[in-house]
Structure 1
Amino acid sequence: MTDDAKSQRVAAVLAAIRPLAAEYYRLTGKPLGVTGELGEHAAAELLGLELASARTKGHDALRIGADGTARRVQIKTRVADSKGSGSKKLGTLAHHDHCDTVLLVLLGAATFDPREIWEAPMSALAERLAKPGSKARDRGRLSIGEFKRIGRLVWPSPGE
């Protein structure tokens, strides 16, 4: 199977899974376990990223610049409430030198389609995580709201 055919097949599988994941979430209030894959695929497709191999340490994708340099991207995905924020925590951020930037993909609860993608430099997130006074930060976790305050909206474009 060619890379293009494989990529098309992965997209088809994820398109089939998306409504099932949304229904499971509506019925149970819990994610099905494919949220991360849906977010990674959406970010790669919408932002032109190259997904890394499974179990690559510290990053999920690469962003290749016009000059050919690769920036390592960690991708976190959450199902968003109607406001797209709240106190929900992100998964643990692997804040070491295996990542340059972090994307937060917010999926709509009704369809699991991407609603927003936020980006923050790992250096700024690591600085926030280093501040004392929070058990969650000690574990490498930030809330969606904290991430948004540090980052910037990259999709849809802020002007859309």
Structure 2
Amino acid sequence: MSVYAADKLIAQARLLAAEYRRTMGKPLPGISSEIAEHDAVKLLRLEPRPEGASGYDAVDPARDGLRIQIKSRTIFDESKSGQRVGQLKMEQAWDAVVLVLMDEEYEPYEIYEAQRSDIEAFINSSSSSRAKRGAMSVARFKIIARLVWTREDGLEPEVWDNQA
């Protein structure tokens, strides 16, 4: 499948997911993670994980094949607190996590990156059983992580030097 075909399919998936939520009153299961994975690979200039690899979703060729787990959260109402990041696979081999935040139209507006060591430090210092399982809020993730991409500015050059 060509890159154009994938981009076109993702655009259609965005429309379908947004319309499904408006019509049914609930999100279409699983779609946000597929869209986020596509967006992170494209916007951060990553490569999809090699065939047969597990525990991560992409690699960054500009950073010696850094293994990246991709998470997503679609924010439908920013006034609501308590948004959660999907459980991190702490038992798997990965180096960093990116969190793609999307709006109600399933369009990305911010991407954050956290290093494994920073996440492990939080988990080890937390008394929360949720944290011990690799679960955390979007707000906590944003505190631990660095903003690496925004809809307005694109890649943040001082954080994400992927120009090589």
Same fold (TM over 0.5): yes
Measured after TM superposition, the shift of residue 97 of structure 1 is 5.8
CA contact (8 A) 1:51 1:60 kept: yes
2: CA distance between counterparts of 1:55 and 1:144? Answer: 30
- Are 2:74 and 1:79 aligned? yes
**Aligned partner of 1:101: which letter?**
A
Mark the CA change 1:85 to 1:131 in structure 2 (over 3 Å): closer, same or farther. Answer: farther
Q: Secondary structure at 1:99's aligned position in 2? A: coil
Measured after TM superposition, the shift of residue 29 of structure 1 is 2.5
CA contact (8 A) 1:116 1:153 kept: yes
Structure-2 residue corresponding to 1:145: 139
Measured after TM superposition, the shift of residue 104 of structure 1 is 0.3
Structure-2 residue corresponding to 1:105: 100
**Aligned partner of 1:72: which letter?**
R
Q: Name which of structure 1's ranges 89-98 and 119-128 shifts more when overlaid on structure 2.
A: 89-98
Aligned counterpart in structure 1 of residue 49 of structure 2, from 47, 52, 65 = 52
How many residues matched? 152
Q: Secondary structure at 2:82's aligned position in 1? A: coil
* TM-score, scaled to structure 1: 0.84
Structure-1 residue corresponding to 2:60: 63
- Cα deviation, 1:59-109, whole Å, max 9, x if unaligned, reads 10011127xx21011100010245498321111111246111110000101
Long gaps (5+) in structure 2? 158-164
- Are 2:119 and 1:94 aligned? no
Q: Percent identity?
A: 32
**Aligned partner of 1:30: which letter?**
P
State the Cα RMSD in Å.
2.3
Structure-1 residue corresponding to 2:20: 24
**Aligned partner of 1:136: which letter?**
R
1: CA distance between counterparts of 2:65 and 2:114? Answer: 16
1: CA distance between counterparts of 2:28 and 2:136? Answer: 19
Structure-2 residue corresponding to 1:9: 5
Measured after TM superposition, the shift of residue 128 of structure 1 is 1.1
Aligned counterpart in structure 2 of residue 120 of structure 1, from 114, 118, 121 = 114
Aligned counterpart in structure 1 of residue 129 of structure 2, from 135, 142, 158 = 135
1: CA distance between counterparts of 2:96 and 2:79? Answer: 21
Long gaps (5+) in structure 1? none
CA contact (8 A) 1:62 1:71 kept: yes
1: CA distance between counterparts of 2:13 and 2:131? Answer: 32
Mark the CA change 1:55 to 1:103 in structure 2 (over 3 Å): closer, same or farther. Answer: farther
